[in-house]
Amino acid sequence: MNKEEIKKMVKNKNFISGIYNYCDRWCERCAFTSRCMNFAMTREYSDDPEASDINNEKFWQSLSEIFKVTREMLEESAEEMGIDLDSIDFEEASRDETIKDKIVKNHICCKTAKKYYEMVDAFFESEYIPSLHLVDKSDGENSPEVQKIDKLDGPATLDELVEIIYWYHHFIYVKLMRSVRGTLGDPSEILQEFPKDSDGSAKVALIAIDRSIAAWGHMHNYFSSHRDQILSLIKHLDGLRKRVEGVFPEARNFVRPGFDE
């Protein structure tokens, strides 16, 4: 894509502004692909094998073009808002960001979310992997476990449960990092009137936590011999959910563009 094509895409009114900021990035399952600029842009590049190959020069040219256009648009917006980008002290800003990084990483929500994805990785890297592989290879007819899970409400297969858990286990951490980061700093009075990005990110994290707990609930019924480990994962996630709701009391009320409108 060249500069003009990117700019044209940005101005396309069919796209829901900012929808990709508060989604779960699971495009395969998303009902809004036709309204999402991020999806359209990604597809443009993935349709071109050279532009999506990190070892190809075209990939870096495309990336450089996107950065250039982004910078141009940023400069245009800054000018419209009367902000002089040259007056920003980037060294000081960078120092601030390093301090914020430390605060975010040490926040109880982020630490608990990190612990969760480590627990998930440990679960699947441990002795449970052979049993998962055993079931995954079956056609479902010879496995009492698969038959059992198919009778449950919600996700029908073990593959799907594992996919849900895997999809969200790092995602929750990343979204909570963004939420906590959004609470640092000093928002201007104008920004205070708008819904907070930190609440939006916390809402997506909460949705991911809810879905993960539901998936673990089915896993729990499935792997009856590993009940204790699975219960401790559910308990850990439930504790995280309560913490996030406590730190971001308005998160559940956040209206996500497209999804909640």
Residue that is written with structure tokens 């800003």 in the block: 93
Q: Which is nearer to ligand SF4, 107 or 178 (CB)?
A: 178
By CB under 6 A, tell whether 21 contacts ligand SF4.
no
Cβ 66 to ligand SF4 shortest distance, Å: 16
By CB under 6 A, tell whether 25 contacts ligand SF4.
yes
Residue that is written with structure tokens 């009778």 in the block: 151
Tokens of 98: 């390093």
Site size for ligand SF4, by CB under 6 A?
12
C-alpha span between 234 and 213 (Å, rounded): 6
Distances from the Cα of 115 to the Cα of 58, 83, 232, angstroms: 39, 41, 12
Segment 94 to 123, residues that bind ligand SF4, using CB under 6 A: none
By CB under 6 A, tell whether 146 contacts ligand SF4.
no
By CB under 6 A, tell whether 20 contacts ligand SF4.
yes
By CB under 6 A, tell whether 26 contacts ligand SF4.
yes
Piece of 24-32, 97-105, 198-206, 222-230 that binds ligand SF4 (CB under 6 A): 24-32
C-alpha span between 34 and 95 (Å, rounded): 40
Q: Which is nearer to ligand SF4, 38 or 56 (CB)?
A: 38
CA 46 to chain centre: 20
Q: Are 240 and 209 in contact (CB under 8 A)?
A: yes
Q: Which residues lie closer than 8 Å to 46 by C-beta, 6 or more apart? A: 52
Q: Which is nearer to ligand SF4, 27 or 156 (CB)?
A: 27
**Binding-residue pattern over the window 30 to 69 for ligand SF4, x denoting contact by CB under 6 A:** x-xx--x-xx------------------------------
Q: Which is nearer to ligand SF4, 28 or 141 (CB)?
A: 28
Q: Are 21 and 197 in contact (CB under 8 A)?
A: yes
Piece of 26-34, 59-67, 125-133, 224-232 that binds ligand SF4 (CB under 6 A): 26-34
C-alpha span between 66 and 72 (Å, rounded): 10
Q: Are 67 and 4 in contact (CB under 8 A)?
A: no
Q: Which is nearer to ligand SF4, 164 or 234 (CB)?
A: 164
**Binding-residue pattern over the window 179 to 208 for ligand SF4, x denoting contact by CB under 6 A:** ------------------------------
Cβ 42 to ligand SF4 shortest distance, Å: 8
Q: Are 144 and 221 in contact (CB under 8 A)?
A: no
Q: Which helix (H) or strand (E) holds 3?
A: helix 3-11
Rounded to 10°, the helix 108-125/227-247 angle is 160
Piece of 16-24, 86-94, 106-114, 202-210 that binds ligand SF4 (CB under 6 A): 16-24
- Residues making contact with ligand SF4 (CB under 6 A): 19-20, 23, 25-27, 30, 32-33, 36, 38-39
